[in-house]
Structure 1
Amino acid sequence: MTHDFVGAQMTNPGDAIRARRKLTNKLIAAHEALRLRPFFTPDVKLIVGDGGLILGVDAVIQAFAGQFADPAFGTYVRETERVDLDAEGTRAAEAGRWTAIWTSGTMTGTYLAVWRKVTGQWVIESELYVTLS
């Protein structure tokens, strides 16, 4: 009976990743670049919507800060459609749709994020964004 209780208290990895994604969406909407740092591995790799490559957490945070400084920038919203977990439960692939909102309009596309569990917390090791409209 104790085992069932303990199991009920464990967070499903997919739910944990979805919750962390929602939190990053809130931080981006609030233009809080520095608060995004703990969501990425130090050596994160990010391919942006136009195919450009950003390497390392410092560069990713600088890119966010630069966009947040632009008065035309609104936010990015990522909507998780699927989370697939590896057999060991330490890596996951998150797929979904993203929207970028600027005063001049919106862009949308699909994304894939690779999450890794590090010291009990899910962090992003790589992301690929594809602009489709």
Structure 2
Amino acid sequence: MTTPEDVIQARRRLTNKFIASGEAERLRPFFMDDASLITGDGGMILGADAIIDAFAAHFRQLGFVPYVRTPQSIELDQAETRAVEIGRWTGAATSGTYMAAWRKVTGQWVIENEFFVTLGG
């Protein structure tokens, strides 16, 4: 039986794959329309459109090196409609910790908020 934690981990692996291949638009289904993202340096990006635009701009940078998010824990609420994922992210010269809040919407787990903290590099 597939657990919600398994599904979230599988969706995280897909986001890592799309980041590695520089496919910003393929990340769109993983975010709620009103999602927010706090970058490793403390900047804030509001809304899925702006998040996807930021990914696309990042992927176009000369020398872009993909980064990987690795979940360390996933915890669900009692109703199994919200979850928090905590893990490590690593890039070529930087790394840190992240937290993602997931929500189950019409049967699909999507990110409502992500928060990254750069700790190395």
| Range of TM-score over shorter length | over 0.9
Q: Displacement, 1:43? A: 0.3
Take 2:88 and 2:118, find their aligned partners in 1: how far apart are those partners? 10
Q: Which runs of 5+ in 1 are unaligned?
A: 1-7
Which position in structure 1 is the counterpart of 2:8? 17
Q: Which runs of 5+ in 2 are unaligned?
A: none
> Alpha carbon RMSD of aligned pairs, Å?
0.7
Secondary structure at the aligned position of 1:88 is classed as coil
Which position in structure 2 is the counterpart of 1:100? 91
Take 1:73 and 1:124, find their aligned partners in 2: how far apart are those partners? 24
Q: Displacement, 1:72? A: 1.3
Take 2:48 and 2:96, find their aligned partners in 1: how far apart are those partners? 23
1:113 aligns with 2:104: no
1:81 aligns with 2:72: yes
Which position in structure 2 is the counterpart of 1:127? 114
Take 1:15 and 1:132, find their aligned partners in 2: how far apart are those partners? 27
Which position in structure 2 is the counterpart of 1:46? 37
Q: Displacement, 1:94? A: 0.1
Take 1:98 and 1:107, find their aligned partners in 2: how far apart are those partners? 9
- Percentage of pairs with the same residue: 59
- Number of residue pairs aligned between Structure 1 and Structure 2: 120
Q: Displacement, 1:100? A: 2.1
Report the structure number with the largest CA radius of gyration.
Answer: 1
Take 1:100 and 1:40, find their aligned partners in 2: how far apart are those partners? 22
Which position in structure 2 is the counterpart of 1:5? none
Q: Displacement, 1:71? A: 2.0
